[in-house]
Structure 1
Amino acid sequence: MSHKGKIQLTLFFVAPPDQVAEGDRLFRSHGPWMEATHHREGDKALLSYNVSKAPELSNSMDPNSAPTGNTCFILSEIYETGAGVADHFQMAESSWQDFPALVKWMEKCTVTGLPAAPIINSLW
């Protein structure tokens, strides 16, 4: 299913070694909360949710390069419209018990990403 024109939230967290266990814990909590709270239909629908995790590499374009010792967590969520992203952030602050812990964890990691980017290319 193509997601062209939908809205993607993508965050990339680089966690130092002493923060990996907390990242694991947070995402173990995040997935079930997302499943229990997010819309599956309408303009706020969550269409896709993925969290991936891998060692940070010294050369991000070379899968055989040496790991840095840090760990990358990649969060990708796709919503029908921007209303879903806005709803997501409102719900996270008001109902996800680990939201304050996520904010504290992010302060200890390097974080990049975009909260709401229109998808310009998508296949299947």
Structure 2
Amino acid sequence: MAYQGKIQLIYVIVAPPDQADEGDRLFRSHGPWMEATHHRDGEKALLSYNVSKAPELSNPMDPDSAPTGNTCFILSEIYETDAGVADHFQMSESSWQDFPALVKWMEKCTVTGLPAAPIINSLW
């Protein structure tokens, strides 16, 4: 399914070695909460949800480069419209028990991302 024109929430979280286990714990909690709470159709629909994890590499353009010791967590959510992202953040704060822990964890990591970016290219 192509997602051009939909809205993507995406974060890359680089966790130092002592924070990787907490990232694993948080995302084990996050997935079931997302599945139980998010809309599947309409303007607030969550169309795609993915979390990936890999060692951070010393040269991100060379898959054979040495790992730094840090762990990268990549969170990607795609919504039908901005209304889905707004709904997501409202629900996160009000109903996900680990939201405060996520905020504290992210303060100990390096985070890059955007809460709502329109998708300009998409295939399949």
Q: When the two structures are superposed, what TM-score results if normalisation uses the length of structure 2?
A: 1.00
Structure 2 match to 1:47:
47
DSSP 3-state at the match of 2:32: helix
| CA apart distance, 1:32 | 0.1
| CA apart distance, 1:84 | 0.1
For 2:122, the aligned partner's letter is S
User: 2-side partners of 1:119 and 1:61: how far apart?
Assistant: 23
Structure 1 match to 2:123:
123
**Given the alignment of the two structures, is residue 7 of structure 1 paired with residue 12 of structure 2, yes or no?**
no
Structure 2 match to 1:111:
111
DSSP 3-state at the match of 1:20: helix
For 2:123, the aligned partner's letter is L
Summarize deviations over 1:10-48 as a string: whole Å, max 9, x none: 000000000000000000000000000000000000000
| CA apart distance, 1:92 | 0.1
For 1:49, the aligned partner's letter is Y
Residues 1-124 of structure 1 aligned to structure 2 (within 5 Å): 1-124=1-124
Runs of 5+ consecutive residues of structure 2 not aligned to the other structure: none
**Coordinate RMSD, CA, aligned:** 0.2
User: 1-side partners of 2:56 and 2:15: how far apart?
Assistant: 9
| CA apart distance, 1:86 | 0.3
User: 2-side partners of 1:113 and 1:103: how far apart?
Assistant: 14
Alignment coverage as a number of residue pairs: 124
User: 1-side partners of 2:22 and 2:90: how far apart?
Assistant: 23
